[in-house]
């Protein structure tokens, strides 16, 4: 399996393993704090070391985040209903709370 770090700049083995060796698709968990104007995010997956970038925001203004299996937080002016994940580009599930 070609997962050369030198060609992509990242180790793709955990991504391939998640999709090929586990039944659950990756779930991007999003937790919104409207008072603080933030969203916290992480991947819920079976494969250790899973890190896959994903586009979030709105169709007019995507930004790429780098979720891991650990929680990260970013500022956002978008509320939960307006905040989107480019699910047409990724085979993932999204959970918002």
What are the φ and ψ backbone dihedral angles of 20, each rounded to 5 degrees? Answer: -100, -25
- pLDDT tens for 17-66 read 999 999 999 999 999 999 999 999 999 999 999 999 999 999 999 999 99
What pLDDT is stored for residue 79 in this prediction? Answer: 93
pLDDT at residue 48, as a whole number: 93
> Are 52 and 42 in contact, with CB atoms under 8 Å apart?
no
Cα four-point dihedral sign 68, 69, 70, 71:
positive
Q: What is the pLDDT of residue 11?
A: 84
Q: Residue 90 is part of a domain; what is its CATH number?
A: 2.60.40.1910
Residue 38 is part of which domain span?
5-96
pLDDT confidence of residue 9: 73
Total domains in the chain come to 1
């Amino acid at each position: 399996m070609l997962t050369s770090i030198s060609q992509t700049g990242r180790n793709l083995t955990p991504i391939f393993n998640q999709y090929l060796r586990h039944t659950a698709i990756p779930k991007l968990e999003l937790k919104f704090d409207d008072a603080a104007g933030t969203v916290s995010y992480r991947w819920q997956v079976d494969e250790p070391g899973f890190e896959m970038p994903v586009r979030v925001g709105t169709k007019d203004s995507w930004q790429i985040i780098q979720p891991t299996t650990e929680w990260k937080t970013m500022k956002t002016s978008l509320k939960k209903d307006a905040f989107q994940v480019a699910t047409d580009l990724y085979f993932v599930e999204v959970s918002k709370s």
